[in-house]
Structure 1
Amino acid sequence: MQWKLNLLAGLFCAVLLGMFLFLSPMTAATSGIQDDPLVPQPPAMETAPVQPPVQLEVPGLNIVKGVIENRTLYEALTACDIPPSDVLALSRSFKPVFDFRCSRPKDAYQACIDDRNQIQKFLYKTGPLDEYEAIKKDDGGYRVHKREIAMDTKVVSTVFTIETSLYQAVADSGETQLMAGMIADIFAWDIDFYLYPRKNDRIAVVYERCVKDGQLIKYGRILAARYEGERKNFSAFLFNDGQFDGYFDENGQPLKKMFLRTPVKFGKMTSAYSIRRFHPISKRYKAHTGIDYGAPTGTAIFATANGRVTFSGWKSGYGKLLIIKHPNGYQTYYGHCSRLLKKPGQLVEQGQVVARVGQTGVATGPHVHYEVRINGKPVNPNTVKKSRVSPLKPERMAAFKKTIRERMRLVNHVLEEKTNLVMQPGESDALDSARKKT
């Protein structure tokens, strides 16, 4: 008799073990992905928990609200005894403006339901600026629209002092990595932010900061910036040339040039252009016809100039290679990529992501081999003449000078006084009046 009891107990444990092994991977797949260190995380300013939508005041209706977590919206609402037909009708009505299949765990919802548990009004929030409202119609469907969310925009003047890097300087000031990227983009034609900066170089920036309830929602435009370096100074002023907004120096010359300085935003130059370099793999001296920029695998590679893709594929030591043809006989090569994002024949624009950093072909580590050729002959990318686009038209210069006078006052203030300024748009004139009285 005892052996039968032991047999039954063993079978019971085996069933439990099988269920555990079957269910565990599913649980890990659904709940563990948020903590996976290999999954790229969004910028810090976007990771704040989504707050529930504004409380609805609808007489005679009950409120059901919550956060999606690891459920679908259908599961969340039907668990509150809301009829499945109502949830499906809501989902169909939402689809033109938001697909609930794209829901994330921190998304918040709020439903106003009647005494039959049918949804009469519904709010769904995916982020600080993304809130959707649905109102039930007579035909059983819903009228859905995205709500306008008011933000408070202030003009901020700040100086960033470099100790080790631009990212460090921006982080030390309390701003996010997005600001560092915006600054790097503005000076991308003149400054390699990995090689150029020196300790105690300063960058004064006048920019728009958009907040809601004291929380940073996004950055607006950078209106002006000045880089004061040990070796050279650079200025940038946002101005409309009559057609488009662009950045210009204090003389009205556009910052934009034919070629960007580098194909990656913050890559480290690991090997320079050389007619005689000792190759780390072949162990012999040979020409190195480009510049290597080390960066983590998957880092974005940008087209350094407008052009058309002529090759996208595998090429011997280059590994995965992208070649872009530019005007006046120029070509650029991007080698050792992990992914190629463009195909032959496609047009690309300067600054567009065309590939990802990798370690394909003959490479000792993840990097992009960047090469410039003129009429088929390799040249040093650092010596390529980076001709500017058209300067401002004479009839726009008077308005430009007025604009930069106002913004230069803000730049000079933070550089001289070493104190930040926070103003509403248009308050720079008041600052000027105050300075004239002192």
Structure 2
Amino acid sequence: MNPINPDSKLELLHRQQPARKRRGKLGTWTLAAVLMGVTAWNTHVIFERYGTARAMEAPRPTARVTPEPENDAAPPTAFSLPPSRPHQPVPAPLHRQGEETGTATASVVDHAANHDPSVRAPGDRYAAVAYRVVAARLQKNQTVAEALSKAGLAPEQTQEIVAAMRGVFDFRRARPGDAFRVKLSPEGEVLFFDYERSPTQGWYARRDAGRLWGFRRAINEERQVAHVTGTLRTSLYEAMEAIGESPALAVMLAEVLAWDIDFYRDPQRGDRFQIIVEKYFHKGRFLRYGEILAAEYDGAPGTYRVFRYESEDGRVAYYDADGRSAQKALLKAPMKLVRITSGYGKRRHPILGYTKMHRGVDYGAPIGTPVMAVGDGTVIQAGYAGPNGNLVGIRHANGYSTWYAHLSKILVRRGQRVHQKDYIGKVGSTGRSTGPHLHYAVKKDGVHVNPLTLKLPPRRPLSRAEMPRFRKTIATWQRWMDSGDLRLAAARATE
């Protein structure tokens, strides 16, 4: 920072004096006082967002500059600056350049941490103790320890942070894009560590009684229940967007009704749906969806209405209004909202060139799309199988087995027990294949059957003893759905 020219300041001060004081020579003591004051008002530090600070160069005293507004909450009181001197202009910001270290972009900034009179320079009652903040974001294939090291932290500082967060956050679960911030004292002691994944997920460690203590950041969420209704024009995704909802809600609805509706094949234009879903907000900002408490679909596939219910023994499932389970032994499809490229039956083979029986259904999807087990069972095949490429086979109850071919990756092993909706592989184009897709087949007692027309009995219904509690639980949702109110409505949920 360039020092202020004493001669220029002297001239400034001289111009600002009343006319009667400008007559005559400036005395030696006046000149000394001016020169001693240069240092006191040459450099200042002000706070910005998250308690960070930037070094500021004081402007000419004839101009007053408005400081940058803060974008977030003010920093903690313990780190706020003392009042400015009387008649002293507010300094204009001069951004301090961040430092890029390795693959982690680290911003290093000096801060005014604590205005302790015991550490001020003699005769300077406005000097501040400086601390340093290092901020960075995790890059791909980078651990937190590597990012801390690249940002300039010593191994012992990194070890202290890891030890403080043990049992609070497992750094092995760190993801690219996660951000962290470390505040260091002038002696290099870690004062504060903040780790953020999203507005709703964060962890931190602070120094107290000579050591760092780790905590999970508390987020105050407001839970509401929304009644969402809509009509299909082209697809379920677009129907959700048309009523101001996220396509994520379309995926959730497809999962709830996955035992009865294949949402790529079955829906038609004009089909209607209703969803009663939890929504979570923080300070008026939507964060996420919770559970679907009730759902109805009325259209070409039929009319289905289901309710989420947690039984007295803690088991959660969806049931119709009479207590019959909506869940069946097998899902309608092994993937969510994907297109069918070839159905079950005779067809002209795209590679062999002649007509033959196609004993399964082909689902077109990008390579890497997750594939689910359609039901509980045991893996009986997991490996390469000639024209089928990477193949997984699962044996289910009552003589059923399902087969998943052309996978790019297999996620299970032979003999492994899997549950409905577990991921067992990823879509690929291995074996005799013309492009990325999943060949899905079902056998009953060793004979191929059409997966699209398969009818399966539901699981065990609720007991008679459970029915009064179930009816009481779903009564409010039934009234909402039976009201015929098609507007988007929200109401505070009763806990």
TM-score tier, shorter chain, comes to: 0.7 to 0.9
Q: Counterpart of 1:392?
A: 462
Shift of 1:241: 2.9
Letter paired with 1:266: L
| Aligned partner of 1:404 among 440, 457, 474 | 474
Shift of 1:322: 0.5
For normalisation by structure 2, the TM-score amounts to 0.69
Shift of 1:251: 1.8
Deviations 1:351-374 (A, max 9, x none): 111011111111222111111112
Residue 428 of structure 2 is aligned to residue 358 of structure 1: yes
Q: How does 1:15-414 map to 2 (within 5 A)?
A: 55-58=75-78, 61=114, 67-69=135-137, 72-76=147-151, 78=153, 85-98=156-169, 102=174, 104-105=176-177, 107-109=179-181, 111=183, 113-114=184-185, 116-138=187-209, 141-243=211-313, 244-274=315-345, 276-413=346-483
Q: Counterpart of 1:25?
A: none
Letter paired with 1:98: F
Shift of 1:292: 1.2
Deviations 1:233-276 (A, max 9, x none): 110111123331111112211110011001111121111111x3
* Count of aligned pairs between the two proteins: 368
Q: Assess, with a 3 A threshold, how the Cα gap between structure 1 residues 409 and 137 changes in structure 2: closer, same or farther.
A: same
Secondary structure of 1:403's counterpart equals helix
Q: Counterpart of 1:421?
A: 489
* Cα RMSD, aligned residues only: 2.5
Shift of 1:106: 5.2
Shift of 1:115: 5.5
Deviations 1:414-434 (A, max 9, x none): xx332111111129xxxxxxx
Secondary structure of 1:154's counterpart equals strand
Q: Assess, with a 3 A threshold, how the Cα gap between structure 1 residues 64 and 426 changes in structure 2: closer, same or farther.
A: farther
Q: Counterpart of 2:49?
A: none
Shift of 1:337: 1.0
Secondary structure of 1:174's counterpart equals coil
Shift of 1:52: 8.1
Give, in whole Å, the separation in 2 of the partners of 1:303 and 1:376.
Answer: 18
Shift of 1:93: 2.3
Worse-superposed segment, 312-321 or 343-352? 312-321
CA contact (8 A) 1:68 1:104 kept: no
Q: Give the structure with the higher percent helix.
A: 1
Q: Counterpart of 1:28?
A: none
Secondary structure of 1:221's counterpart equals strand
Deviations 1:300-333 (A, max 9, x none): 1111111000111111221111010112221111
Secondary structure of 2:78's counterpart equals coil
Q: Assess, with a 3 A threshold, how the Cα gap between structure 1 residues 65 and 208 changes in structure 2: closer, same or farther.
A: farther
Deviations 1:39-70 (A, max 9, x none): xxxxxxxxxxxx98984343663675564146
Q: Counterpart of 2:13?
A: none
CA contact (8 A) 1:159 1:202 kept: yes
Give, in whole Å, the separation in 1 of the partners of 2:152 and 2:196.
Answer: 15
Q: Which runs of 5+ in 2 are unaligned?
A: 1-70, 80-112, 115-129, 140-146
Secondary structure of 1:144's counterpart equals strand
CA contact (8 A) 2:296 2:305 kept: yes
Secondary structure of 1:417's counterpart equals coil
Letter paired with 1:316: G
Letter paired with 1:346: Q
Q: What is the percentage of aligned positions where both structures have the same residue?
A: 32
CA contact (8 A) 2:138 2:178 kept: no
CA contact (8 A) 2:362 2:437 kept: yes
Q: Which runs of 5+ in 1 are unaligned?
A: 1-50, 428-438
Give, in whole Å, the separation in 1 of the partners of 2:322 and 2:156.
Answer: 65
Letter paired with 2:181: Y
CA contact (8 A) 2:251 2:337 kept: no
Deviations 1:92-121 (A, max 9, x none): 32244335573644514263x555453334
Q: Which structure's CA Rg is the greater one?
A: 2
Give, in whole Å, the separation in 2 of the partners of 1:64 and 1:160.
Answer: 53
Letter paired with 2:78: V
Give, in whole Å, the separation in 2 of the partners of 1:242 and 1:67.
Answer: 48
Shift of 1:173: 2.4
Letter paired with 1:153: R
